[in-house]
Amino acid sequence: MNPKIDLFDTTLRDGTQGEGVSFSAEDKLRIARRLDAFGIDFIEGGWPGSNPRDMAFFRKAHGLQLRHARIVAFGSTCRSSEPAEDANLAALLEAETPAVSVFGKTWRLHAEQALGISCSENLARIFASVRFLKAHGKYVIYDAEHFFDGFADDPEYALATLKAAHEGGADVLTLCDTNGGSLPGAVGRAVQQVAARFPGSLLGIHPHNDGELAVANALAAVEAGCRHVQGTINGYGERCGNANLCSVIPNLQLKLGYDCIPGGNLAQLTGLSHFVSELANRVPHAAQAFTGRSAFAHKGGVHVSAVMKKPETYEHIPPETVGNSRRVLVSDLSGRSNIRYKTEELGIDLEARAGDAAGIVRELKQLEHEGYAFEAAEASLELLIRRRLNEWTDPAALKGFRILIEKNERDPARSEATIRLDVNGITEHTAAESVGPVHALDLAMRKALSKFFPAISRMHLSDYKVRVLNGGDGTRSKVRVLIESSCEGKAWSTVGVSENIMEASHQALIESYAWFLQQQQVPLRHPSPQPNAS
């Protein structure tokens, strides 16, 4: 039977100390439900008494009816030797959680300088706090703050602080790399010494990521004897963050053979990662191991060719194991293997059309040389392939557009766009106005196309990005426009490139409409004869 690891998630407490990360009480409740369903053992909800939001979470958490996890309240050791009179410990009890996490000072520097007390008084506070909480029926997780720095400074005193917590009845002794600067070798050696001094005790690890080693330190600690691991989803946390559970869990379970969560639940990992990112209002990190969009993305032609034959040539695990998926990117680094992979995704058989594949690669490389970026605009890539193979003909062709911008000293700027499109031999001439020229052009184009394709009303532009490609040319620089559009939950991206930002915008916009029509197989509707708008 594989050794069991207790997983302690502190996304809702330590994670919110990260810059730009904030959750409402309702957000915390939603995340707690998701963590419980995933298989997390302990969910640290916050520091009761420190702010109204955390207390609101603990009040509402009583109705969560979790199937597996235990909610944890966080706090510090008492500020005197009389824990019954300590407001912080009283708040921990008021939270009415089955478990509490209480931290104490391990490093002489912190006891004497930060708290301004003697080292013996610090030991007394640790013992009294843990014993008080145990007397009130709590499962107590003792966090030895700055353990590894304190251990390096004075090993015997650091161990004495653990002894005080142990004798007070702590259920878990957690060793914290609070400054995040320890190395895996030092962490492993320290844990071994702690395990030898406290045989049979449940040891934990709480690493921070200031040396980019939090995950490595967590793994080293487990291999040295820890069976309780603390971290956050996506590594959110103060400064450089905490150990990323999205990396710790699959490494422990898939690589080292530990039992962290039910095996079938591991396929929920990517979804959980993105769910927490969404509630944190953070863009998911594309290159994040295991769960990032690029974690199993292949771009080089040699790589793609090998992966198509045997995925493990360039993938350390099957992406589906953690709920992710393989992606093949197409760029000027691509070869025929990339194109074959993409056409297979599109249901196109290129086996007997080697010349077509070579032609697509040549055109792609030329366009990328001109500034197009198809790995970020897969809808434009699909249209390029289908046009080259004569599987798609654009229903609308530009005959011309004109943009007018008016600004006086009192009123906001106003833009007017006029466009002429040829739609299956019919010329449509329309105009629209808005505060910005791109939006005005989009409105005019939409007005023209909607007469023939009413389904276009269901889609909308959801993101617009401009990248200057050769900044040395100043305002004459070539720009690349990336547009993301969406319809009923599905999103797609298109690209345009030009020295004229409006021309680049038009290219990306018309591509977006074309891809939507191609996907929907929307039939052309001939409008009733009427005078063209102008």
Say whether pLDDT at 47 is over 50.
yes
Co-location of 406 and 364 in the same domain: no
How many other C-beta atoms are found inside a 10 Å radius of the C-beta of residue 483? 26
Say whether pLDDT at 209 is over 90.
yes
How many other C-beta atoms are found inside a 10 Å radius of the C-beta of residue 2? 11
Could you say which of 336, 370, 404 is where a domain stops?
A: 370
Co-location of 212 and 337 in the same domain: no
Q: How far is the C-alpha of 406 from the C-alpha of 219, rounded, in Å?
A: 62
Q: How far is the C-alpha of 40 from the C-alpha of 173, rounded, in Å?
A: 19
Co-location of 250 and 115 in the same domain: yes
Residue 251 pLDDT: 98
Please indicate, yes or no, if residue 114 is contained in any of the structural domains: yes
Angle between helices 155-168 and 119-135 (to 10 degrees): 20
Q: Compare 228 and 341 and report the one with higher pLDDT.
A: 228
Model confidence at 102, pLDDT cuts 50, 70, 90, reads: very high
Strand order in the sheet with 479-487: 460-468, 479-487, 490-498
Say whether pLDDT at 261 is over 90.
yes
Q: Which of 145-149, 374-378, 385-389, 495-499 has the lowest mean pLDDT?
A: 374-378
Co-location of 314 and 169 in the same domain: no
Co-location of 366 and 400 in the same domain: no
Residue 38 pLDDT: 97
Residue 325 pLDDT: 87
CATH number, domain with residue 460:
3.30.160.270
CATH number, domain with residue 328:
4.10.430.20
Four-residue CA torsion sign, 475, 476, 480, 484:
positive
Residue 352 pLDDT: 63
Model confidence at 335, pLDDT cuts 50, 70, 90, reads: low
C-beta separation of 284 from 276 below 8 A:
no
Model confidence at 331, pLDDT cuts 50, 70, 90, reads: low
Say whether pLDDT at 201 is over 90.
yes
Q: Compare 143 and 311 and report the one with higher pLDDT.
A: 143
Residue 321 pLDDT: 96
CA dihedral 15, 18, 24, 25 (to 10 degrees): 30
Q: How far is the C-alpha of 349 from the C-alpha of 138, rounded, in Å?
A: 64
User: How many domains does one find in the chain?
Assistant: 3
**Arithmetic mean of pLDDT, 205-215:** 98
Query: Containing domain of residue 322, as a range?
Result: 297-370
Please indicate, yes or no, if residue 384 is contained in any of the structural domains: no
Where are the alpha helices (H) located in 210-335, listed in sequence order?
A: 214-224, 245-250, 269-279, 301-309
CATH number, domain with residue 160:
3.20.20.70
Residue 362 pLDDT: 83
C-beta separation of 165 from 173 below 8 A:
yes
Please indicate, yes or no, if residue 268 is contained in any of the structural domains: no
Query: For residue 73, what are the contacts with CB-CB under 8 A and spacing of at least 6?
Result: 44, 45, 46, 47, 48, 58, 91, 92, 95, 97, 99, 100, 101
Residue 305 pLDDT: 77
Could you say which of 205, 235, 261 is where a domain stops?
A: 261
* Strand pairing class (396-406; 327-328): unpaired
Q: Compare 387 and 237 and report the one with higher pLDDT.
A: 237
Residue 531 pLDDT: 45
Q: Which of 332-346, 348-362, 480-494 has the lowest mean pLDDT?
A: 332-346
Residue 329 pLDDT: 65
Say whether pLDDT at 524 is over 60.
no
Co-location of 362 and 409 in the same domain: no
Question: Which residue is it, tokens 């070539």?
Answer: 478
Model confidence at 530, pLDDT cuts 50, 70, 90, reads: very low
Please indicate, yes or no, if residue 440 is contained in any of the structural domains: yes
Q: Percentage of residues in the chain with pLDDT exceeding 90?
A: 66
Co-location of 449 and 338 in the same domain: no
Q: For 447-505, what is each residue's pLDDT tens digit?
A: 999 989 999 989 988 899 998 887 677 777 899 999 999 998 888 999 999 999 999 99
Please indicate, yes or no, if residue 533 is contained in any of the structural domains: no
Q: Which of 111-115, 254-258, 522-526 has the lowest mean pLDDT?
A: 522-526
Could you say which of 261, 287, 308 is where a domain stops?
A: 261
Where are the alpha helices (H) located in 114-233, listed in sequence order?
A: 119-135, 147-153, 155-168, 184-197, 214-224
Residue 508 pLDDT: 94
Q: Which of 125-139, 165-179, 391-405 has the lowest mean pLDDT?
A: 391-405
Co-location of 301 and 185 in the same domain: no
Co-location of 489 and 415 in the same domain: yes
C-beta separation of 71 from 114 below 8 A:
no
Please indicate, yes or no, if residue 304 is contained in any of the structural domains: yes
Please indicate, yes or no, if residue 123 is contained in any of the structural domains: yes
Co-location of 406 and 359 in the same domain: no
Residue 532 pLDDT: 46
pTM of the predicted structure, to 2 decimals:
0.74
CA dihedral 264, 269, 274, 278 (to 10 degrees): 80
Please indicate, yes or no, if residue 498 is contained in any of the structural domains: yes
Co-location of 160 and 307 in the same domain: no
How many other C-beta atoms are found inside a 10 Å radius of the C-beta of residue 419? 25
Co-location of 69 and 107 in the same domain: yes
Write down how long the chain is: 534
Q: Which of 120-124, 312-316, 338-342 has the lowest mean pLDDT?
A: 338-342
